[in-house]
Amino acid sequence: MAPTVESLNPVVKAIVEGTAPRPAILAAARGVLPLPQTDLLEVLVALAHSDDSELSGHASKTLSTQDAGSLSATMGSTDVALTVLDYFAGRPEQPASVHEAIISNAKTPAATFIRFASSSTNSELIERIALNQQLLIQNPALIDAIIANPHKTSEADRRASETKREFFEKERGAQQIANELRAQGKEAAAEFIEQAEFAQDLDGIGFDEDDALFLASMIEVPDSETDDSWLGLEYIEEIYEETAEQRDAIVDKIIGELKMEGSEVGSERVSVLNRVLRMGMKDRVKLAMKGDREARNILIRDPNRIVAQAVVQNPRITEQEMEKIAAMRSVPEDVLRQIANDRQWSRSYSIVHNLARNPRTPIANVLNILSRLQLRDLAGLSKNKNVSDAVRRQALRLSQARTGR
């Protein structure tokens, strides 16, 4: 596999991919080809890994003779290639200024930090990495690299060991899980865990930390983007706790619907359904409003109308999803009425056409929609045995009026 080339310079691409003339490649390996420093280093690192011993030998020698000051400046640049950062991170003989520039560069990937922490003899820089707790939490392998390095300071060892115990070894409660998610930049998921009823007693419903983290991974909408003003007092009495048998029945119902639609329902999908449906109704409402496409696809089929209505309140729901929901015959009438009355979704012809053909859509909404349908669709509805007589008759009247019959 040809190495990835980050430079936009066509000369660099030709040399790295081996399509440039041999003399030009040799000149590059010796460092005498006139190229910008970032481009030259990318070429040299690529050639140093070449199977051609002549090229790799020249390139390695040229890399070893680079000026420390110039090299440090390049390592701190956002234009430097990732392969260059990784190459010099793995060279303990390089000056501290070069390595300091690498670990200070926001572009430096986690794999390079791990490489450096594993091989560096610079205790001070290892300690600097250990002080970045967020980086450690996001990359557990980095913690192990620091702990295993014999050149680490006692402070670096303490920091890495404490982070490992706190976030990866001890039994974590809801707040600890939320803190870890927040440290990883997953604010919406952290908010969900902090507010979820199931997270306050994981053992009580047979959940473990992996279950909690999986459900949190389905969250994509932060609190700031949700609006629960629609969830008035009249709905509170419909938020109740089901028995285990009732939840099993809901899982079976959803599996049946997915199979009828031709969706694959393997053991992994069943596991997802069981995790979602093991939550109480309040948590399912929150997941419906804040969850990703998979969560929405599951919870729109929830027999409780409040959960299903929460799905269409999700700010990330797409027009394609809404089009599919408008055609579903398992969706509660309240949800279909809500879609029909929504100013945004009612502008979509595909959505209103599906609503008109859905026998569960309230007749009053369908009658309002009919005047907007195209003639061929009215004619089709007038013969559709799945819709009500009132809808068929009105569709026939409108189609005859438009054709002058």
Distance of CA 67 to the CA centre of its chain: 42
Other Cβ atoms within 10 Å of 81 Cβ, number: 23
HSE-up (13 A, CA, CB side) for residue 81: 24
SS3 content of the chain, % helix, strand, coil (to 5): 65, 0, 30
Helix (H, G, I), strand (E, B) or coil at 291: strand
Distance of CA 168 to the CA centre of its chain: 22
Residue 291, strand partner residues: 219
Q: Are 86 and 110 in contact (CB under 8 A)?
A: no
Tell me what pLDDT residue 405 has.
Answer: 66
Q: What is the pTM of this model?
A: 0.59
Spatial distance between the Cα atoms of 219 and 215, rounded to a whole number of angstroms: 7
Q: Pull the structure tokens for residue 382.
A: 């007038």
Tell me what pLDDT residue 20 has.
Answer: 93
Select from 345, 339, 349, 342 the least CA-distant residue to 371.
Answer: 349
Spatial distance between the Cα atoms of 300 and 323, rounded to a whole number of angstroms: 13
Spatial distance between the Cα atoms of 99 and 384, rounded to a whole number of angstroms: 73
Q: What pLDDT tens digit does each residue of the chain (405 aa) get? A: 456 899 999 999 999 999 999 999 999 999 999 999 999 999 999 999 999 999 999 999 999 999 999 999 999 999 999 999 999 999 988 999 999 999 999 999 999 999 999 999 999 999 999 999 999 999 999 999 999 999 999 999 999 998 888 777 655 567 788 888 888 889 999 999 988 888 877 766 778 788 888 999 999 999 999 988 887 655 666 666 777 788 888 888 888 888 888 888 888 888 899 899 888 888 999 999 999 999 999 999 998 889 999 999 999 999 999 999 999 998 999 999 999 999 999 999 999 999 999 999 999 999 999 999 999 999 999 999 999 999 999 999 999 998 876
Spatial distance between the Cα atoms of 16 and 46, rounded to a whole number of angstroms: 6
Select from 360, 314, 354, 307 the least CA-distant residue to 337.
Answer: 360
Spatial distance between the Cα atoms of 399 and 375, rounded to a whole number of angstroms: 6
Helix (H, G, I), strand (E, B) or coil at 178: helix
How many distinct helices (H) and strands (E) make up the chain? 26, 0
C-alpha distance from residue 150 to each of 113, 139, 212 (Å)? 16, 20, 36
Tell me what pLDDT residue 238 has.
Answer: 64
Per-residue DSSP letter, 233: G
Q: Pull the structure tokens for residue 121.
A: 């003899």
C-alpha distance from residue 159 to each of 123, 156, 341 (Å)? 14, 5, 56
Per-residue DSSP letter, 80: S
Amino acid at 146: I
Burial 122-161 (b: 16+ CB within 10 A, else e): bbebbbebbebeebbbebeebbbbbeebeebeeebbebbe
Q: Are 365 and 338 in contact (CB under 8 A)?
A: no
Tell me what pLDDT residue 1 has.
Answer: 45
Select from 145, 96, 148 the least CA-distant residue to 124.
Answer: 96
